[in-house]
Amino acid sequence: MSRIGKLPVNLPKGVTVSVSDANVVSVKGPLGELDQVIDKDLKVEVVDNEVILTRPTESKNHKSLHGLYRALIANMVTGVSQGYKKELELVGVGYRAEAKGQQLGMSLGYSHDIIIQLPNEVKIETKTERRSNPVITLTSIDKQLIGHVAAKIRSLRPPEPYKGKGIKFVGEQLRRKAGKSASV
């Protein structure tokens, strides 16, 4: 069996899981509700505060889907009970970020400011303190969506390897290169 797929997903207090006839798993919790369509071959059961997935055969496709959907359901349970948070740091002289509702305006050293419209499921906060880099904080219950939005923001100015300027995740270790060495 798949090592990931055979593990049951434990449900914390306040989280309920329901499975419809069309193999749609709905997870409700204190922070919200998420839905995921599951492959028709897999069977999802809720037994004693645990979600258990079973697969019909040992084929390679069924094994991979087994682990995938178990991980997606586990991420949904964590999202509706605790939520997810990503923090991005803007490293560079003059780099700024400002949130207005669901719009994020950034000055990243280009000739124009960049404005991004964020989905309603993602909450945004910006923090700028003197003598420190601006920090963008994203929070959501959907792990896939928040990861996609954070990667999209980071792709606007990825960190460069010489000085480390750009948008990076807080705590991310960058591989730095040595600059030109003087000839002797």
pLDDT tens-digit map of 21-69: 888 999 999 999 999 999 999 999 999 899 999 999 989 999 999 999 9
Which neighbouring-strand residues pair with 166? Answer: 91
Tens of pLDDT, residue by residue over 8-23, are 999 999 999 999 988 8
* pLDDT surpasses 50 at 1: no
Residue with tokens 């922070």: 31
Tens of pLDDT, residue by residue over 68-102, are 999 999 999 999 999 999 999 999 999 999 999 99
Fold of 9-81: Outer Surface Protein A; domain 3 (3.90.930)
Please give the average per-residue pLDDT across 159-184, as a whole number: 88
What's the pTM value of the predicted model, to 2 decimals? 0.89
Question: How far is it, in rounded angstroms, from Cα 23 to Cα 31?
Answer: 23
Which neighbouring-strand residues pair with 99? Answer: 104
* pLDDT surpasses 80 at 182: no
Residue 151 has what pLDDT? 96
Write out the DSSP string of the chain: --TTTTS-EEPPTT-EEEE-TTSEEEEEETTEEEEEEPPTTSEEEEETTEEEEE-S---HHHHHHHHHHHHHHHHHHHHHHT-EEEEEEEESTT-EEEEETTEEEEE-SSSS-EEEEPPTT-EEEEE--TTS--EEEEEES-HHHHHHHHHHHHHTSPPPTTT--EEEETTPPPPP---PPPP-
Domain boundaries for CATH 3.90.930.12 within the chain: 9-81, 84-169
Residue 184 has what pLDDT? 63
Is-contact 128 80, C-beta < 8 A? Answer: no
Q: Is 92 left (phi over 0), alpha (psi -120 to 50) or beta?
A: left
Question: How far is it, in rounded angstroms, from Cα 118 to Cα 122?
Answer: 7
Task: Give CATH for domain 84-169.
Answer: 3.90.930.12
Tens of pLDDT, residue by residue over 122-147, are 999 999 988 899 999 999 999 999 99
Closest-CA residue to 146 (of 99, 86, 105): 86
